[in-house]
A and B are shown apart, each in its own frame.
Chain A
Amino acid sequence: EAGVAQSPRYKIIEKRQSVAFWCNPISGHATLYWYQQILGQGPKLLIQFQNNGVVDDSQLPKDRFSAERLKGVDSTLKIQPAKLEDSAVYLCASRTGGNEKLFFGSGTQLSVL
């Protein structure tokens, strides 16, 4: 079974630039999450989708972060403009409706210089 796919694996940008991350969840997984993990901390939820609808985006810094899942399958997360404190690993996770187990992608490591 294919896992959660994320790209790119690494990204280095300068502050005030824009960046986008892509995630393709496991086939059939209706729930998709984007997490931010800063070094030494646990993952912090940015946004949760159920199919193509947003379930929870209460911790998403909406002045600079946006995410979409237009067709209820793959998703993109964008940061515009980036700040130094956005340096982190961005993890995408998915799960089926009847299972609480989260499957994570390998993440995108973002460095903002």
Chain B
Amino acid sequence: RKEVEQDPGPFNVPEGATVAFNCTYSNSASQSFFWYRQDCRKEPKLLMSVYSSGNEDGRFTAQLNRASQYISLLIRDSKLSDSATYLCVVKRNDYKLSFGAGTTVTVRA
């Protein structure tokens, strides 16, 4: 089983739609969780950290469910510029980072 698993998508949504996807992790002792965004042929960039109580950053909402070992990302009012691959990143209890393979989102006009 992979340490971090993501639905690869692609999620193809119209502008203004809401899209949500999950990431599951295998190490129950994982400490920290992040979403990174990677545009086509570009480097990953931190989108947001994921806190235990859930957190929002504008149109983006991240949730953590430790009991079921998954995190989620929800994008409201999708923009064309949200088209990207979203990488789930988990910091294990040995402080090592594990990246998921990414979920591709395409927002169409």
- Residue count of chain B within 8 Å CB distance of chain A: 19
The answer to whether B42 touches A106, judged by C-beta atoms less than 8 angstroms apart, is: yes
Q: Which residues of the other chain, A, contact B4 by a CB distance below 8 angstroms?
A: 42
Partner of A44, one of B42, B43, B44, B99: B99
Interchain nearest-CB distance for B93 vs A (Å): 14
Interchain nearest-CB distance for A96 vs B (Å): 13
Residues of B60-109 at the interface with A, using a CB-CB cut-off of 8 Å, are 87, 91, 96-97, 99-102
Q: What sequence of 0s and 1s flags, for each residue 78-110 of chain A, a beta carbon within 8 Å of any chain B beta carbon? A: 000000000000010000000011101111000
Summarize A's interface: helix, strand, loop or mixed.
Answer: loop
- Residue count of chain A within 8 Å CB distance of chain B: 16
Among A35, A41, A45, A102, chain B packs the most CB atoms within 10 A around the CB of: A102
The answer to whether B45 touches A104, judged by C-beta atoms less than 8 angstroms apart, is: yes
The answer to whether A42 touches B46, judged by C-beta atoms less than 8 angstroms apart, is: no
A100 touching B99 in the complex, CB below 8 Å, given contacts A42-B4, A43-B44, A107-B43: no
B26 proximal to A (CB < 8 A): no
Partner of B100, one of A42, A104, A105: A42
Interchain nearest-CB distance for B31 vs A (Å): 10
**A/B interface sample: 30 pairs, CB < 8 A:** A40-B8, A40-B101, A41-B101, A42-B4, A42-B87, A42-B100, A42-B101, A42-B102, A43-B44, A43-B87, A43-B99, A45-B96, A45-B97, A56-B96, A91-B43, A91-B44, A100-B32, A100-B49, A100-B91, A101-B46, A102-B36, A102-B44, A102-B46, A104-B43, A104-B44, A104-B45, A105-B43, A106-B42, A106-B43, A107-B43
Interface of A with B (CB < 8 Å)?
A: 35, 40-45, 56, 91, 100-102, 104-107
Interface of B with A (CB < 8 Å)?
A: 4, 8, 32, 34, 36, 42-46, 49, 87, 91, 96-97, 99-102
